[in-house]
């Protein structure tokens, strides 16, 4: 009897290579799953990026973007936006910008969180953030993020699962970076790809032997071989894209 009825996957470092090229193994695995089980993408990336990746992978399931700040239940619906403490986020960015030469990512497309390049040592950044109690800093390996404390991937999964008539514990999570730790805690089971950080590996139920997208494919094979998920052809109940 299959134990899990959905998969929730991170994108960067989990479906990609270390240089962010989409992994052929992950693509093949996602195509095989398409329309047979929900695969929710949960990313620190912007919603437009996450939506394009989803379309090309054929996941046909709701999306969680900006570390949980935005949820897209249907392809053409308006996203659900978790309102962040914008003043504090902007004030923190101003303070950091005064001390460091920051490269801010996607500022036109990013709505709830702030992301910037890892050009500065995080130990140097953290002391400047102690005056901002409602935001947290996370190193997502491909970028740094400043995010409202009420926004995280796990909250995104809980909300998304509810919209789908499911529970977060019905999902198996796959991830690589510290913005996936709370997602692992909310999901029913969790896989860390072999390139995951030590903190993520510690939180995972299962540490995969393969890195990056090959790790995602290994997780899917493991789930099928151990009868932990069931694939049903032509499921249309929540395949919304
Ligand atoms: O936006 C990032 O830095 C990382 O994105 P991810 O959560 O899909 O790995
Ligand atoms: Mg990642």
pLDDT, tens digit (0-9, with 9 covering 90-100), for 37-68:
999 999 999 999 999 999 999 999 999 999 99
CA of 216 relative to ligand 2 center, distance in Å: 12
Q: In this structure, which residue's CA is closest to atom 5 in ligand 1?
A: 44
Q: Which residues of the chain have pLDDT under 70?
A: 1, 236-241
Q: Domain 6-81+152-225 falls in which CATH fold?
A: Rossmann fold (3.40.50)
CA of 179 relative to ligand 1 center, distance in Å: 8
Q: Is 142 in the pocket of ligand 1 (CB under 6 A)?
A: yes
Whole-angstrom distance, CA of residue 58 vs CA of residue 184: 23
Domain ranges of the chain: 6-81+152-225, 86-148
CA of 1 relative to ligand 2 center, distance in Å: 30
Whole-complex ipTM: 0.98
What is the structure's pLDDT at 227? 95
Q: Which atom of ligand 1 is nearest to the CA of 13?
A: 9
What is the structure's pLDDT at 77? 86
Q: Which atom of ligand 1 is nearest to the CA of 41?
A: 8
What is the structure's pLDDT at 230? 85
In words, the CATH class of domain 86-148 is alpha beta
Nearest to 54 by CA among 107, 7, 2: 7
What is the structure's pLDDT at 104? 97
Please report, in range form, the residues annotated as the binding site for Mg(2+).
10, 12, 176, 180
Q: Which atom of ligand 1 is nearest to the CA of 11?
A: 8
Q: Is 177 in the pocket of ligand 1 (CB under 6 A)?
A: yes
φ/ψ (deg, to 5) at 73: -75, -35
What is the structure's pLDDT at 234? 75
């Amino acid at each position: 009897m299959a134990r899990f009825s959905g998969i929730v996957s991170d994108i960067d470092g989990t479906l990609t290579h270390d240089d962010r090229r989409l992994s052929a193994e992950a693509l093949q695995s996602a195509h095989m799953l398409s329309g047979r089980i929900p695969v929710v993408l949960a990313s620190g990336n912007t919603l437009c990026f996450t939506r394009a990746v989803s379309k090309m992978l054929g996941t046909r399931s709701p999306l969680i973007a900006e570390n949980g700040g935005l949820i897209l239940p249907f392809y053409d619906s308006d996203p659900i936006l978790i309102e962040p403490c914008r003043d504090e986020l902007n004030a923190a960015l101003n303070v950091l910008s005064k001390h460091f030469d920051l490269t801010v990512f996607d500022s036109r497309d990013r709505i709830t969180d702030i992301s910037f390049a890892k050009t500065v040592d995080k130990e140097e950044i953290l002391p400047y953030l102690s005056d901002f109690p409602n935001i947290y800093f996370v190193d997502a390996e491909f970028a740094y993020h400043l995010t409202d404390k009420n926004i995280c991937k796990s909250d995104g999964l809980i909300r998304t699962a509810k919209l789908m008539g499911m529970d977060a514990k019905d999902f198996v999570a796959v991830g690589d970076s510290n913005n996936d730790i709370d997602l692992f805690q909310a999901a029913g089971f969790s896989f860390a790809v072999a390139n995951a950080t030590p903190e993520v590996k510690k939180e995972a139920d299962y540490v995969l032997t393969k890195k990056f997208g090959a790790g995602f494919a290994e997780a899917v094979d493991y789930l099928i071989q151990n009868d932990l998920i069931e694939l049903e052809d032509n499921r249309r109940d929540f395949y919304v894209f």
